[in-house]
Structure 1
Amino acid sequence: MSTEERKGPVAPKDPTKKRPFFYIMQDKQIFAAPQPDGRGIQYIYEDMGRLQDSAKLQGNVTDEKILQMLGTAEGFRKLVHSIGVYVTEETRKETVTFVLQMYGDNQGDPATIVSKSFVADGSEQIIDLTEVDWCENDKVPGQIRFEYDRSGIQSMVDVCLYLNDGFEAPEQITDSAVDFESDAYKEMIHRSLMQKGNLERLHKVTEKAKNGEDVTLSFIGGSITQGAGAIPIHKKCYARIYADAFEEKYGNGGKVNLIKAGVGGTPSELGMIRFERDVLRDGKEKPDLIVIEFAVNDEGDETQGVCYESLVRKCLALPWKPAVVLLFAVFSYDWNLQDRLGPVGVKYDIPMVSVLDAVTPQFGLMPGEGRVISKKQFFYDIYHPSNYGHMVMRDCLMEMTAEADKCTEFEAEGDLLGREPAIGADFEKVYLVDRKDISSAEVSEGAFAGTDKVLQMVEMDSEVVPVAEFPNNWYYDGSSDDPEPFRMKISCQKLLIINKDSGEPDFGTAEVFVDGRKVLDVDPHVNGWTHCNPLIALNGAEVGLHEVEVRMAKGDERKKFTILGFGVV
C-alpha cells in the first residue's frame, strides 16, 4: 500500500483519558435562523438559571454545589476545564462557529467570548478553557450560539462540560427512541382529554373541511405557541404540524390556513389586547378554530385569571361561533396553571386539552416500566418543548379533534355569555389604542414623538422571518433634561399601558398618572429583555373621561422609554 492510500496514522496515540463530564445539550436540534447580514444563527440563552436547568435536565446533575457554580462566571471557570461540542449537519461539509458568550452587569458591557470554527461533521471538538483570557467584568454565562455563513441549515448538536480535577459528574443517561405507534403512547395522549365539553363547534370545523371547504385554524399564546424549542420554528411548532395533520386527516380539497399568534414571555393580559390585531387581523380573518395557550404564562397576570376569561369570552362572542379549545402546556417541573384557569373551561363547557395530564404521570417511570418519553426528550429546555414535545402537543389536540369528529349528538349551547363568569370578565371588550389608531383618544405626544424600531420580534403564521410587535409606538430617546410628558384624554372605564421591557441600561423608569394621581412606576428592566409588558393603570367601575400622563421619573430624564400602546375598555 502506498503512503497516499493509508487511511490513518501508522502508530495512533493512546487515547487520552476523558475527564468527568455532563451534558448541557444532547441530541438537540438547531436551525440557523436568518440574520440581517445574511448569516444563519441559533441562539441558546443560558443566563437567568437556564444553564443550571440544562445541566439538571440533560446532564442528570443534582449536586447543588455544581449547580450553584454554573450560575456565575467565577464558578463556571472553577468548575469547567473544557467544552466538548458535536455538531452534525446533513452534508457534513458546512462550517459552523460555536460561541460561548459571558455577560457583564449590563448588556453591552465588555465580556468574554469563546469561539471555535469547524466543519459540522459530527466529530467532537474540544475547547480548552485553560487557555482563555477571561474578562474581569464577566458575571454569568450568558449565551451559546451556533453560527453559519448562511441561513436555513439544520443540525444536531451535543455539548458537554468536562470538569476540573476534584469534581465528579453523575452517570449520563441515554434514552431509548420514542415509539409513537405504541399502545402506551396512545394511552398517554388520551389522558390529555381534560374535558371534552360541548364538541359541536369543533365538529363543525372537521365537517367543513371534509366538505371540501377552506378552514382557518388559529392559535394565540406565549412562546410555546410562537414555536420556541421547535427546529425549525416555522415548520415544526405544534400549531404548524397540527394544521398539517388536520389537513391530511380531514381536508378534502380545500385549503387549511394557519394563523399563529404566539408572543414569547407574555400573558393573556397582553393576548386579550392584541387578539383583534394578531388573530382576527383587524377584521380580515374569521378563524374556524381558536386555540388558547396561556397556562404557563399567566403566573404574573395581575388579575389572576380575569384577563384569561375575558379573552375566552371575546372568542365565544364572535358572531360566526368559532370552535374554542383551551390548551394547557407544561413546564419541566410538572407545573402549569390549569387548576386556576380550568374553571373557565368548565363554566362555558369548552374542550380542554392538558399536556400536563398526558406526560407528567409517566415522567417518573423507568424505561420498560411504562415511560413513553423522558423529560430530556420532551423538553428543549426547562420551559419549552423539543420537536418531540411539539409532536406530543399536536397529537393531544388531534385526539380532541378526533373525539369531536365522531360525535353525532350535542347538547344545546344556550347563551354562553349570559353565564356568570367563573373568575371575571372585566376586560372582555378591551381594544388596542396605538399610534396607528387613536380615533378614540386625544393625544399630545410631547417628548415621546419618536418610533422605536428595536422591538420584540415574533415568527407569525408559517413565516421564519420575525415581525416586530407593536411597531406603531411612542418613543422617547432620552435627549432632553426636561422631557415633555405624553398626554392622552380618553373616555374609558379601564386602561392598561403596554411598555417595552429592555435589558439596556439607557432605558429608564416612567411614571403614569391618571387624572393627576400617580398610579404606576413602570420599570423597563423588570424582565431584563426586549419584550412587551402590559400593566393596569385604571380599573374603574364606570366609564368617564380621563386624563393620562406618562412622564420620565426623576433622575431618569436622560433615559429612554417606549409606550407600545394601550388597552382600553
Structure 2
Amino acid sequence: MKKTLALLLALSVCATAFVGCGGNADSSAKAENSAANSAESSAEAPAESTPEEAESTAETAETPADDSLSAQLLAQYPVNDGAYDFTKGATENMLGRSLLYRGDTSRLAAKLQRAVDDPKAITNICYLGDSITAGSGATGSAKQYTNLINAWWEENMGYYVLGTNAGIGATDSYCAVHRASRDVPEESDIIFIEFINDQDNELYQSTMDSLVRQCLAMETQPAVIIIEPSTEGGGSPQNAHLKVAQTYDIPFISYHDAIIPEIDAGNFQWKDTSNDNVHPNDAGHAVMAQCVLNLFEQVKENLENENKEVTPFDPAAVESPTGDKFAGASLGSMDTPETVEVVDAGTFTKRIQFANFNGGWGSESGGSATFKINCKNLGMLYLKNIKGDFGQVAVKVDDNEPVIIDGDFPGGWGNYAKADEIFSSDEAAEHTVTVEFISGDDKPNFQILNWLIS
C-alpha cells in the first residue's frame, strides 16, 4: 500500500523533482531571524462555502506588500516564464515561494531523526482542518494531500505511520480550538493545521493563537505546521495565520503563494487547480503535498546539522499576543453535564448527532430551552439546514442583548455545522443561557450541535 501511494504522488508530479526537499520567551528575535532565513535561503470558503464565507476569505489582498515575506520570496523565486502545465506538479520556484516561513524546525528534525534511528517506530501524524483536509476535491483517498504525505513518510522515513484525519468540512479554527482536545491524539508527533474558512481578522488570529499554543504544549512535543490554501481570486486568512506562526516560530507553508502568482501571471488558470472555488483537485492536492514535502526533504537532507534539541513549550512562560483567549476550550453537550447544566430543556428534547458532533439538542416545535454554563467565552455550534423549515433563535446570556442565530440555509450546497461567537468576558463565571425561537410556525426546527466553551 505504501509503495502504491508513493507512486501516485510520483506520477502526479512526474515532471518536477523535489527541490532541496527543504515558541519560547525570545520568540520575537527568533521570528526575525527565521523570516530572513525564509526569504534568503529556503528552497524556499469551501464548495461548501456559503457566499458570505467565500467573500470573507477574499479579504486578503492578492498582491503582497513590497516589504512582505510573500513579496520577498516572489522576487527571489519569480513566476514561470510563460504557460505551465499544472498537472506536472510544482516548479522549483513555486516550492521556493511556498515555504513562506521556515521557523524553528527542531521538533520536525527530532521526529525525522527518531524515524531514521528506528524505522519501525510508529509516527503519529494528525491533520486538523476543514473540507480540504477531509479530502474534498480529490477523486480518491490515495490522492488526498494528507495520504500523499503519509505515503512519503512510509517510503522514505519509517514503516509505520498512523495518520489521523481530523478534517471536518465547512469548519474553522474557532470550532477547531474547541474540538482539538477531542480530535488531536495525545500521541501526535506532527500536527498540520489548515483552515481556509477563517477570515483575516483578530478573532481568527486569536483562535489560531490558542490552537497552536494548545498543540505545542502537548507532552509529545509535536512539530506543528500551518498550511495555507487559497480561494479562487487569491483570498485567504494568511496574514492573521502568519502572525501566529511568527510568534511561535513554527513552519508556515503557503500553497496560496505557490499558485496565485502563477495564476495572476496567466501561466495557468484556477480551473486547472480546482473544480470549484476552493477545493484543490487531484493536481492541487499533489502540489499541496509537494509544498509540505519540500520542507521535509530540506530538513531530512541536512539532518546531521539540524538542531534536534527541543525546548518544551511552557504556556506560562510564553506570552500570548492575543491573551490566549481560548485557553482550555472544549465542546459542551448532553454528554458533558459537568460543563453544561440543562435547567429546562423545554422543547429542545431531541438528541442530535451531525457529522462528528454528538449529544446536541434539537427542537421540532419552536419553543425554548435554558442552560447554566460556567465560562469566560461562549459560542454555539449549530446546524445550517437547506430544507427551508429551520428557524431563527435568540440566544441570551444573562441580561445581555440576545444574539440572533439563523439555522436556515435554503437552496444552499448542503447542511453543515456553523460556529458563532455568542459571549465574551474577562472572567469565568456561571451564566444563564436561554435559547428561544423568534421565527414563525413555518420554521419550527433548530439544532444546537454543541456549545463552544472556554
Q: TM-score, normalised by structure 2?
A: 0.75
Mapped pair 1:347 → 2:239 = no
Assess, with a 3 A threshold, how the Cα gap between structure 1 residues 500 and 195 changes in structure 2: closer, same or farther.
same
1:189 is matched with 95
Deviation track 1:446-474 (CA, whole Å, cap 9, x = no partner) reads 21110235x3xxxxxxxxxxxx2313211
Instruction: Give the Cα–Cα distance (whole angstroms) in 1 for the partners of residues 422 and 49 of structure 2.
Output: 34
Question: Aligned AA for 1:515?
Answer: D
Whether contact under 8 Å (1:344, 1:423) holds in the other structure is no
Deviation track 1:377-402 (CA, whole Å, cap 9, x = no partner) reads 22222211110000000010111112
Question: Aligned AA for 1:343?
Answer: K
Instruction: Give the Cα–Cα distance (whole angstroms) in 1 for the partners of residues 49 and 313 of structure 2.
Output: 49
Assess, with a 3 A threshold, how the Cα gap between structure 1 residues 511 and 334 changes in structure 2: closer, same or farther.
same
Instruction: Give the Cα–Cα distance (whole angstroms) in 2 for the partners of residues 46 and 518 of structure 1.
Output: 29
**1:96-111 equivalent positions in 2, closer than 5 A:** none
Instruction: Give the Cα–Cα distance (whole angstroms) in 2 for the partners of residues 239 and 375 of structure 1.
Output: 21
Instruction: Give the Cα–Cα distance (whole angstroms) in 2 for the partners of residues 342 and 416 of structure 1.
Output: 21
2:191 is matched with 290
How far off is 1:511 after superposition?
1.1
2:341 is matched with 442
1:472 is matched with 359
Whether contact under 8 Å (2:221, 2:312) holds in the other structure is no
2:35 is matched with none
Question: Aligned AA for 2:132?
Answer: I
Assess, with a 3 A threshold, how the Cα gap between structure 1 residues 249 and 175 changes in structure 2: closer, same or farther.
same
Identity %: 28
Q: Secondary structure at the match of 2:114?
A: helix
1:250 is matched with 157
2:258 is matched with 358
Assess, with a 3 A threshold, how the Cα gap between structure 1 residues 288 and 552 changes in structure 2: closer, same or farther.
same
1:275 is matched with 180
Which of 179, 200, 204 does residue 88 from structure 2 map onto?
Answer: 179
Deviation track 1:248-291 (CA, whole Å, cap 9, x = no partner) reads 1111x3x10111111222211111111122223xxxx4111110
Whether contact under 8 Å (2:334, 2:340) holds in the other structure is no
1:334 is matched with 234
Q: Secondary structure at the match of 1:188?
A: helix
**1:395-544 equivalent positions in 2, closer than 5 A:** 395-405=290-300, 406-407=302-303, 408-410=305-307, 413=311, 415=313, 417=315, 418-443=317-342, 444-452=344-352, 455=354, 468-478=355-365, 483=367, 485-525=368-408, 528=412, 529-544=414-429
Instruction: Give the Cα–Cα distance (whole angstroms) in 2 for the partners of residues 414 and 240 of structure 1.
Output: 29
1:263 is matched with 168
Q: With CA pairs under 8 Å and 6+ residues apart, which has the higher RCO, 1 or 2? A: 2
More strand by share: 1
Assess, with a 3 A threshold, how the Cα gap between structure 1 residues 205 and 412 changes in structure 2: closer, same or farther.
closer
Which of 103, 109, 127 does residue 219 from structure 1 map onto?
Answer: 127
2:20 is matched with none
May I ask how many residue pairs the two structures share in their alignment?
369
1:70 is matched with none
Give RMSD over aligned pairs: 2.7
Assess, with a 3 A threshold, how the Cα gap between structure 1 residues 272 and 250 changes in structure 2: closer, same or farther.
same
Instruction: Give the Cα–Cα distance (whole angstroms) in 2 for the partners of residues 415 and 192 of structure 1.
Output: 26
Instruction: Give the Cα–Cα distance (whole angstroms) in 1 for the partners of residues 430 and 239 of structure 2.
Output: 38
2:146 is matched with 239
1:548 is matched with 433
How far off is 1:235 after superposition?
2.3
More helix by share: 2
Whether contact under 8 Å (2:348, 2:369) holds in the other structure is yes
Mapped pair 1:325 → 2:225 = yes
Instruction: Give the Cα–Cα distance (whole angstroms) in 2 for the partners of residues 308 and 415 of structure 1.
Output: 16
Whether contact under 8 Å (2:129, 2:193) holds in the other structure is yes
Instruction: Give the Cα–Cα distance (whole angstroms) in 2 for the partners of residues 260 and 435 of structure 1.
Output: 25
Q: Secondary structure at the match of 1:312?
A: helix
Question: Aligned AA for 2:430?
Answer: L
Q: TM-score, normalised by structure 1?
A: 0.60
How far off is 1:495 after superposition?
1.2
Structure 1: which 5+ runs fail to align?
1-43, 50-173, 456-467
Structure 2: which 5+ runs fail to align?
1-46, 53-82
Assess, with a 3 A threshold, how the Cα gap between structure 1 residues 175 and 419 changes in structure 2: closer, same or farther.
closer
How far off is 1:304 after superposition?
3.9
Deviation track 1:47-90 (CA, whole Å, cap 9, x = no partner) reads 969xxxxxxxxxxxxxxxxxxxxxxxxxxxxxxxxxxxxxxxxx
Instruction: Give the Cα–Cα distance (whole angstroms) in 2 for the partners of residues 354 and 332 of structure 1.
Output: 15
